Amino acid sequence: MNREMKILFLGTGEAFSERANTSILIDERVLLDCGLTTLQQLMRIKFKLKRIEVIFISHLHADHYFSLPSFLVTCYEESRKNTLNIIGPIEIEEYIRNLLYLAYRKNFDDLNFKINIKNVRNSYRFEDYRFSFAPMEHSVPCLAVSIKRDGRVTYTGDGIPTKEVIKIAKNSDLLIAEAYKENIEGHSSIMKSVKFAKESNSKRLALVHISRKEIIDKGIKEAKNIFPNIFIPNDLDFIEI
């Protein structure tokens, strides 16, 4: 029997926006990116952090992983016992360890729960979730992830999709893609993400990482003429696929 995948947009904004940093919670178990505002958003909805079992970090920019030290220490304060799996690009473990020590003078051993960190390149499996990864074109190494359970959700992080990303995103029920601004190197835009959605044969397109400086109404109207099933979620919006 198919089970719907539950998608909560904790944040939908760019690094310096009135919106919270882009972060997505899937089935209350898998967290996609953990930027500066992510813990605050989880606290706002009174979410028990121990329910999150996998955290995917797309790349090592502050608006995508700087909540991790606070997240980890809060898990410790809440007496977490279950293992936390953190997956992401090369150097992720070194960066997280350094950031945790810089923020709280703590090491993993101080936290009293197990943390598994894995540098992923192609695939990863957690219970009935199958993860596929491919590189984005960005200013630092960045991974897109496609998660298959009964449905398929693909999330790009930041950047412009490569052919490999289009391949793993094929037939996504939901494509969550950056729509920052036109003509910015290493970033995508509304129209680039629309093209990506069509090339990957995705059913729906959610635009995130919205620029605080862009007027998007005109761009969305034009985009819907090309790909009608497009939307811009607000922070804490929830959908099922």
φ/ψ of residue 112, rounded to 5:
65, 20
pLDDT at 1 exceeding the cut of 60: no
Catalytic site positions? 63
Averaged pLDDT of the chain? 94
Q: Where are the domains of the chain?
A: 6-231
> What are the pLDDT digits (tens) for 108-158?
999 999 999 999 989 999 999 999 999 999 989 999 999 999 999 999 999
Mean pLDDT of 58-72: 98
DSSP string, 103-126: HHS--GGGGSS-EEEEE-SSEEEE
Pairing of strands 230-231, 160-161: unpaired
pLDDT for position 180: 85
Our measurement of the distance from residue 140's CA atom to the centroid of its chain's CA atoms, rounded to an integer in Å, reads: 16
CA atoms of 100 and 8, how far apart (whole Å): 26
Residue matched to tokens 């029997």 = 1
pLDDT digits (tens, 9 = 90+) for 3-46: 899 999 999 999 998 999 999 999 999 999 999 999 999 999 99
pLDDT tens digits, 185-241: 767 899 999 999 999 999 999 999 988 766 566 678 888 999 999 999 999 999 999
Query: Rounded CA gap, 131 and 150, in Å?
Result: 13
Spell out the residues 6+ positions from residue 127 whose beta carbon is closer than 8 angstroms to its own: none
Rg for the chain, CA atoms, rounded? 17
80 vs 217, residue with greater confidence: 80
What is the torsional sign of CA 150, 179, 139, 26?
A: negative
Helix (H) or strand (E) holding 226: helix 217-226
Please return the burial class of 137, using the count of CB atoms within 10 Å of its CB with bins 0-12, 13-18 and 19+. middle
| CATH class of the domain whose range is 6-231 | alpha beta
Q: How far is CA 38 from CA 167, 178, 216, in A?
A: 29, 17, 24
Task: Phi first, then psi: give them for residue 219, nearest 5 degrees.
Answer: -65, -40
What per-residue confidence (pLDDT) applies to 166?
98
pLDDT at 217: 66
